[in-house]
Amino acid sequence: MILHQLIDYETLRIIWWLLLGVLLIAFAVTDGFDLGTATLLPFVGKTDLERRVVINSIGPTWEGNQVWLILAGGAIFAAWPPLYAVSFSGFYLAMFAILFALILRPVGFKYRSKRDDATWRTAWDWALFVGGAVPSLIFGVAVGNVLQGVPFHFNDELRIFYEGTTLFELLNPFALLCGILSVAMLVMHGSAWLTLKTKGVVADRSRAYGKIAALATAVLFVLGGVALWAGIDGYHITSTVNPLGPSNPLAKTVAKVPGAWFDNYSSHHWMMLAPLLGIAGAAAAFVFMGARREIAAILATSLSIFGIIATVGLSMFPFILPSSVDPRSSLTVWDSSSSHMTLFIMLVVAVIFVPTVIAYTTWVYHVMWGKVDEKAIRDERGHAY
């Protein structure tokens, strides 16, 4: 028996769907507190020294945290080529805005303290704010649009046609609700990180903002679910599905059905754990921040992020990217993957390198463990950001 046939095609497709979710959640949990911290920077730091404390709380680790986003993009490219083609072309302007904002972050870190000038440093502080807030918002907006369906279709030759026009059509009410939820969620996470890594007034201000963001996260998450149930049709496959078949999105029929995004929860009650974690994690974060239990707070915010992102994935399964203009063209786990051999080779590579990344990341956090305070910044004499 050929080695790659030890794992059947259906199992490999599910494994890579799960791995994609793991990579996205890992990015949100690790780089998410970087984005949230940058968003909070102008508000929790009132003096130059306080803002340097905030920046240096994420300075040693933010670059490594971006690895998870790169891995997720690579996984989409290799494991789900049609998904990569549609999303990176249809969301081109949104992706460009995210990249522009993310580019501001390293530039801001490197150049902010090069000049001892208040105007110069304040300008870079707001650039760092943009580098945190804009990606946080657009990631959520993108998820909101995916849940509603994206305007693309395939022709008979499986050529992709995107029928969207401008960036502003992505900014519809439901997508903006998801975007604001994303900002609140990551600000909550960033606040928990700052209470863990800083002292004094910076930690106190972060705790206050974090409690507000935790409440906002729970409320907005519930509102998003109500809006999804009341006003947005889900997608349902109405034809026979062959999980072992070749990737051909047009080999099925799909109907838009009110409430279809909740069908999986009716069929598999254990999935309810995901939205419950999303709400309970945010509520626990509110309590733990108030009780000054720093480690418990960041674990709670991480659980909330896990629950919220998992809720989206479980609601949509097996859909990955539904089409609003031609439901039959919607991409699913069963009809938009790479070949059996490609998925198997990638799995072998992932089994080797993902644990390596986790081990290295764990070691870095162990080495960098401890609080950042104003005295430490002053004693660094130019080596700190």
Highest mean pLDDT among 152-156, 220-224, 355-359: 220-224
Please report, as a single letter, which amino acid is at residue 211.
Answer: K
What pLDDT was estimated at residue 6?
77
Sign of the dihedral through C-alpha 351, 356, 361, 367? positive
Mean of all residue pLDDT scores within the chain: 91
42-88 confidence digits (pLDDT tens) = 999 999 888 999 998 898 888 888 889 888 989 999 999 999 988 88
3-state secondary structure of 154: strand
The full DSSP string for 230-256 is HH-EEEEE-S---TTS---TTSS-EEE
Helix axes 9-44, 48-58, angle to 10 degrees: 170
What pLDDT was estimated at residue 1?
47
Structure tokens belonging to residue 279: 């709400």
160 DSSP β-pair partners: 154
Question: Could you tell me the residue ranges of all domains in the chain?
Answer: 3-230+338-380
What is the 8-class DSSP label of residue 227? H
- Of 91-100, 161-170, 188-197, 221-230, least confident by mean pLDDT is 161-170
The full DSSP string for 287-354 is HHHHTT-HHHHHHHHHHHHHHHHHHHHHHHTTEEE-BSS-GGG-EETTTS---HHHHHHHHHHHHHHH
What pLDDT was estimated at residue 334?
94
pLDDT at 5 over 70: no
- Of 256-260, 312-316, 372-376, least confident by mean pLDDT is 372-376
pLDDT at 219 over 80: yes
- Of 21-35, 216-230, 328-342, 363-377, least confident by mean pLDDT is 363-377
271-288 confidence digits (pLDDT tens) = 999 999 999 999 999 999
| pLDDT interval class at 2 (50, 70, 90) | low
C-alpha span between 331 and 261 (Å, rounded): 15
Residue with tokens 């009809």: 335
The full DSSP string for 74-113 is HHHHHH-HHHHHHHHHHTHHHHHHHHHHHHHHHHHHHHGG
318-370 confidence digits (pLDDT tens) = 999 999 999 999 999 999 999 999 999 999 999 998 899 889 888 988 887 88
What pLDDT was estimated at residue 7?
84
Task: Count other Cβ atoms within 10 Å, centred on residue 218.
Answer: 23
What pLDDT was estimated at residue 196?
94
Share of the chain above pLDDT 70, in %: 96
- Mean pLDDT, rounded, for 219-243: 93
248-262 confidence digits (pLDDT tens) = 999 999 999 999 999
More confident residue, 385 or 210: 210
C-alpha span between 19 and 72 (Å, rounded): 9
What is the 8-class DSSP label of residue 7? S
Structure tokens belonging to residue 251: 């080999």
C-alpha span between 274 and 131 (Å, rounded): 29
